[in-house]
Homo-oligomer: A and B are copies of this chain.
Amino acid sequence: MQEVRTLYWVGGTEGRLRLIDQTRLPGELVELECRNAETVWEAIRALRVRGAPAIGIAAAYGICLGLQTVAGQDAAAFHARLQEVADYLAESRPTAVNLFWAIRRMTRRARDLRDAGASPIETHQALLAEAQAIEAEDRRMCRAIGRHGAELLPDGAGVLTHCNAGGLATADYGTALAVVYAAVELGKRVHVFVDETRPLLQGARLTAWELRRREIPCTLICDSMAAMVMKQGKVQAVVTGADRIARNGDAANKIGTYGVALAAAAHRIPFYVAAPSSTFDLSLDSGEEIPIELRAAGEVTHCHGRPVAPEGIDVYNPAFDVTPAGLIAALVCERGVLRPVCEARIAEVLETSATS
């Protein structure tokens, strides 16, 4: 299997970020080169890079890019620009908390370095190392998620997933799909039912593409077919990713996840959410506090630039919904399998160490 890198840095502090333009998959595998923070912002907003962990990594590198013009200036100018770039990138998308987590980690690191008397050039170098550490940690976390989650899948399982929480949503290997990949590596037979995931078809375009590259048996369905496939007994587990998980375990994920979780509950099929600890937002009591991104009507009304609905029709297009903790059989993060899904168990696992 040809190596595919979702996003990676090339060169030193004056280098650049390269990422797969996911809007062009599955038709074309094309890399986009980002040479400034603006290109990164646009890539995140337009979903060229998407998936909560991947946009966190992209934002961290975006900060490095945004500082290239001021690395030779004085500390005041450097840190003012840092704050400007951080605020700017934080505006790219509102729901995935990994974005804010990565930006905060980068700005905190810069502050610590300034307090320790580091020069702008030294700080810029250290921030690139920090972004690379975030990326490397993500790779390790995805493997650990896979290892923990694989035990949840019985041999011969039909696994339904929604959207793309695979290698394309992370630095590598994925979260929900990591569970599948690791189970297959253990020798388990798995068949994946792939929700196409309207409106932007990340399931049809990205998950189906990833699974085929890894030669994992899969069947593409429309989102509306998930309940019927479950009723037919073809699905033994549902695994999705998450974009933000509140302290009580409520999980925001791609629109449609909640409906899948309701259908799974009706058929007594376990519904699992796989995500790194950076996806948890312990500042939020529940999913009701998670901001939900509303996107343009055109994503629903047009396909390949041509209308599929009457002109001027009113459209509601939330990019995410929230699945309540009560519908989630377990959360799988790099530290293990969290169940039952409740505040006490989450606090126990996540607050024992400050970083992964």
Chain A interface residues (CB < 8 Å from chain B): 26-27, 193, 195-199, 201, 204-205, 208-209, 212, 217-229, 231, 255-256, 258-259, 262-263, 265-266, 300-301, 303-304, 306-318, 321
Contact = CB atoms under 8 A, between A and B. Distances in A.
B208 A310 contact: yes
Contacts of A318: 225, 228
A154 to B, nearest CB: 21
B307 A255 contact: no
19 contacts: A26-B310, A193-B316, A196-B198, A196-B308, A198-B198, A198-B222, A198-B223, A204-B300, A205-B309, A208-B309, A208-B310, A220-B309, A222-B223, A223-B224, A223-B256, A224-B255, A227-B321, A229-B316, A303-B304
Given A208-B313, A300-B196, A26 B307 contact: yes
A301 B209 CA distance: 12
A13 to B, nearest CB: 38
Contacts of A212: 310, 312-313
Contacts of A304: 303-304, 306
A234 to B, nearest CB: 9
A219 B315 contact: yes
Contacts of A317: 221-222, 225
A231 B287 CA distance: 13
B301 A220 contact: yes
A223 B317 CA distance: 11
Contacts of A198: 196, 198, 222-224
Given A217-B314, A224-B259, A262-B263, 15 more contacts: A198-B198, A198-B224, A201-B308, A208-B310, A212-B312, A212-B313, A219-B314, A219-B315, A219-B316, A220-B301, A222-B256, A224-B255, A225-B321, A229-B316, A231-B321
B266 A224 contact: no
Contacts of A313: 204, 208, 212, 218, 220
B225 A316 contact: yes
Contacts of A199: 222
- Which applies to chain A's interface (DSSP): helix, strand, loop or mixed? mixed
A342 to B, nearest CB: 20
Nearest to A204: B309
B301 A222 contact: no
Most chain B CB atoms below 10 A, which of A219, A228, A307: A228
A331 B301 CA distance: 32
Contacts of A266: 262, 265-266
A301 B255 CA distance: 20
A134 B41 CA distance: 60
Contacts of A306: 304
A263 B224 CA distance: 12
Given A198-B198, A204-B308, A205-B309, A224 B303 contact: no
Nearest to A193: B316
A293 to B, nearest CB: 13
A197 to B, nearest CB: 7
Shortest Cβ-Cβ A-B pairs, 3 listed: A224-B256, A227-B259, A204-B309
